[in-house]
Structure formats: C-alpha cells, structure tokens
Amino acid sequence: MTRTIHLSLDINGRRHELDVEPRVTLLDALREHLALTGTKKGCDQGQCGACTCHVDGKRVLSCLTLAAQVEGREITTIEGITGENGDLHPVQAAFIEHDAFQCGYCTPGQIMSAVACIREGHAGSDEEIREYMSGNLCRCGAYNSIVAAVREAAQATVKEKMEVA
C-alpha cells in the first residue's frame, strides 16, 4: 500500500496543496506534481547543482530535500525570480548578455546559485565567485562566461546599493 501525506508548500509566493509519498523530494514535487519544470534534475545525488532552489532565501539542493521537510518554509524557484511585470532578474539578464550557457541545462541552477552567492556577499572577486559557485557544474564548460555574468551582476548590485544609500 502506498502511503501519501498531504503537504502545503509555499512556492514563489503561492500556496500549493499536494498529496505525495513521504519519500518525494522537493525536486520531484516541483517537476512531477506541480509542473514547475524550470528546476532541473541532473544527478539527483547532490553532485551537480542543477536542482538549486532557495528555501527561506538560502540556496539548497532540491534533490536532497524532502518536500515534507520544507512545509512552512518559503520556497523560491527559477520561475519566481523575475520581476512583477516580467522583467528579467539582473542575474538572468547578465547571463544572456555574457552568453553564459550553451545547452542551458545547468542554467536555472547556476542562476539560482548566483543570486544567492551575490546576496551572501561571496562574489567579491573572480576567485571567490569560482569557489562559491563550485557547487554548480556545467558540462558545456561555460564557466568563464558564467563567472563574467556573476561578476557583472554583483557589481551592478553593489552599485545599486550605493546609489540607494
């Protein structure tokens, strides 16, 4: 007999209700149950970063997170980072500007990771960006452009903050 549990998940500012087996990961809940397929499954074992999402504003791997574990937390996926009028997030824009992808499979994870990396204050130099983005692999090897995109988005964020202050 398959047991299911009822979950209410807060994703991108919306409440979603679903019934799943307890073993269902956040990644599978998003992709298979909620049709939020922007989050990608690469390795399903914590080794590639393609499934990166934010939980309470922090980047995590959705393939090693149980959906049940994040009930009551605020979940953000790649679908949730664009502006209200559909404007690209500055990190998304920088990825396009710098051609920071080839096949694009790793890209949602890269972008979610980069948004958090900048927010954490870990994008101060190319070296720091490489270290703190190392959890996101790119089989196409677009690394140089990814670093350039993150650097530019980080600088733009700093500039914006200084202008506000």
Partner 1 sequence: MRDFSYLRATSADDAQKAALQAGAVLLAGGTTLLDLAKCGVTEPETVVDITHLSSLDGIAVDEGGATIGALARMSEVADHREIKAAFPAVSESLSLAASAQLRNMATMGGNLLQRTRCSYFREPGVFAACNKRNPGSGCSAIGGVTRNHAILGTSDACIATYPGDLAVALVAFDATVEIGSRRVPVDDFFLLPGNTPDRETVLEKGDIITAISIPASAAARNSTYLKVRDRQSYEFAAASAAVGLEFEADGRTVRDIRVALGGVATKPWRARAVEQALVGKALDAETVEKASSLAMEGAVSQGGNHYKIELAPRVITRAIEQLGLKVGGLA
Which residues bind to ligand FAD, rule: CB under 6 A? Answer: 46-47
The reply on whether position 77 binds partner 1 by CB under 8 A is no
Minimum gap (Å) between residue 87 Cβ and ligand FAD: 34
CB 59 → partner 1: shortest distance, Å? 5
Q: Sort strands 74-76 and 52-55 into parallel, antiparallel or unpaired.
A: antiparallel
C-alpha 67/C-alpha 4 separation (Å) is: 12
Burial class (CB in 10 A: 0-12, 13-18, 19+), 154: buried
Q: Smallest Cα–Cα separation from 18: which of 31, 9, 10, 27?
A: 9
**Greatest alpha-carbon span in the chain:** 60
Task: Write down the least CB distance from residue 30 to ligand FES, Å.
Answer: 12
The structure tokens 């202050």 sit at 165
6 binds partner 1 (CB under 8 A): no
Total interface residues for ligand FES by CB under 6 A = 23
Instruction: Give the one residue of 11, 68, 101, 154 binding ligand FES; rule: CB under 6 A.
Output: 101
Matching residue, tokens 């490489």: 130
Compare residues 112 and 154 and give the one whose CB is closer to ligand FES: 112
Closest CB to ligand FAD among 60 and 117? 60
Closest CA to 108 of 71, 146, 72, 159: 146
- Report if residue 131 touches partner 1, rule: CB under 8 A: yes
Kindly state the smallest distance separating residue 97's Cβ from partner 1, in Å. 24
**Window of 73-81, 82-90, 104-112, 125-133 that interacts with ligand FES by CB under 6 A:** 104-112
Strand pairing category for 52-55 and 58-61: antiparallel
Nearest to 42 by CA among 114, 144, 138: 138
List of residues contacting ligand FES (CB under 6 A): 41-44, 46-51, 61, 63, 101-107, 138-140, 142
